């Protein structure tokens, strides 16, 4: 199955084509292979570059739009404006091609990629995986971070938004995510900064392979947008 994956939950505008196939039973019953990908880091360019990136991936791979069997979109958490660009684009491609669109937590995609790092990079992860934990953080602005904790590849806390000092590390032994924020924590850093197409599809793989009908796309804003509609008080008859 050829899957289109997009994410605009971070300053990295991400698009890619990923081949997913069932390989049998076992702890990893699927094979996820990146066919083509584009990442452009610019927090203000989501709307301008995402669709061209998708078209570039199609041209590089030699695939047609009709070859795509499903779409996977990161649903955040992320800023209001950037996040809705990726989700709207994913929904538009799904509607135009008549294929399902699956939403996944963008932090889960980062965790999926971080889980592929060699265990030797973080000894505690290999030594005692049940007691180990991974923290993923991305930029929430306002001196805050979006975060989630993982154990054995599964999310056990979050997603949430807090100041870094208020994030409970619990049994965390490593951190991944925004390069500007991982250093705020006294933890070994895994070199995964944003969701990749492969990570996004890995998270959605069980539903994709099972043919499960996707849930409606629901963005994880976690708080109100920075720009809000101005409210006006009701005038009385005198205009006061």
pLDDT 10s per residue in the chain (240 long)? 999 999 999 999 999 999 999 876 554 556 899 999 999 999 888 889 999 999 999 999 999 999 999 999 999 999 888 899 999 999 999 999 999 999 999 999 999 999 876 555 554 454 444 456 999 999 998 899 999 999 988 999 999 999 999 998 878 999 999 999 999 999 999 999 999 999 999 999 999 999 999 999 999 998 755 544 444 344 344 444
Q: Which helix (H) or strand (E) holds 110?
A: helix 106-114
Question: Under a CB-based contact definition with an 8 Å cutoff, are residues 38 and 53 in contact?
Answer: yes
Tell the burial category of 44 from Cβ atoms under 10 Å away from its Cβ (0-12, 13-18, 19+): exposed
Task: Write phi, then psi, for 194 (nearest 5 degrees).
Answer: -150, 165
> So what's the pLDDT on residue 169?
81
Out of 184, 218, 233, a domain closes at: 184
Task: Write phi, then psi, for 216 (nearest 5 degrees).
Answer: -60, 145
Question: Under a CB-based contact definition with an 8 Å cutoff, are residues 75 and 107 in contact?
Answer: no
The residue range of the domain holding 170 is 108-184
Is the domain of 15 the same as that of 62? Answer: yes
The helices-and-strands tally (H runs, E runs) of the chain is: 5, 9
In a domain, 236, yes or no: no
In a domain, 71, yes or no: yes
> So what's the pLDDT on residue 237?
43
> So what's the pLDDT on residue 233?
40
Burial state string for 153-171 with b = 16 or more CB within 10 A and e = fewer than 16: eebebbbbbbeeeebeeee
In a domain, 12, yes or no: yes
Question: Under a CB-based contact definition with an 8 Å cutoff, are residues 139 and 11 in contact?
Answer: yes
- Structurally, how many domains does the chain consist of? 2
> So what's the pLDDT on residue 170?
78
> So what's the pLDDT on residue 232?
37
**Distance (Å, rounded) from C-alpha 1 to C-alpha 18?**
8
Token pair for residue 33?
A: 């292979």
Is the domain of 101 the same as that of 143? Answer: no
CATH (domain of 202): 3.30.420.40
């Amino acid at each position: 199955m050829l899957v289109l994956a997009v994410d605009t939950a971070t300053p990295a505008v991400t698009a890619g084509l990923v081949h997913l196939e069932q390989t049998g039973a076992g702890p990893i019953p699927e094979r996820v292979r990146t066919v083509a990908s584009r990442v452009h880091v610019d927090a203000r360019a989501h709307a301008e570059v995402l669709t061209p990136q998708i078209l570039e991936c199609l041209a590089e791979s030699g695939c047609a739009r009709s070859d795509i069997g499903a779409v996977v979109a990161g649903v955040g958490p992320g800023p209001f404006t950037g996040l809705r660009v990726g989700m709207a684009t994913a929904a538009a491609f799904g509607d135009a091609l008549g294929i399902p669109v699956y939403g996944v937590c963008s932090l889960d995609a980062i965790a999926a990629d971080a889980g592929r790092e060699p265990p030797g990079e973080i000894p505690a992860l290999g030594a005692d995986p049940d007691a180990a934990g991974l923290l993923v953080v991305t930029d929430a602005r306002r001196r805050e971070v979006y975060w989630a904790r993982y154990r054995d590849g599964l999310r056990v806390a979050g997603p949430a938004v807090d100041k870094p000092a208020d994030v409970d590390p619990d049994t965390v032994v490593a951190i991944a995510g925004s390069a500007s924020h991982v250093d705020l924590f006294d933890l070994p850093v895994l070199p995964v900064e944003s969701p990749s197409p492969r990570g996004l599809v890995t998270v959605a793989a069980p539903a994709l392979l099972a043919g499960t009908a996707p849930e409606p796309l629901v963005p994880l804003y976690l708080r109100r947008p920075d720009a809000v509609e101005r409210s006006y008080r009701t005038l009385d008859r005198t205009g006061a």
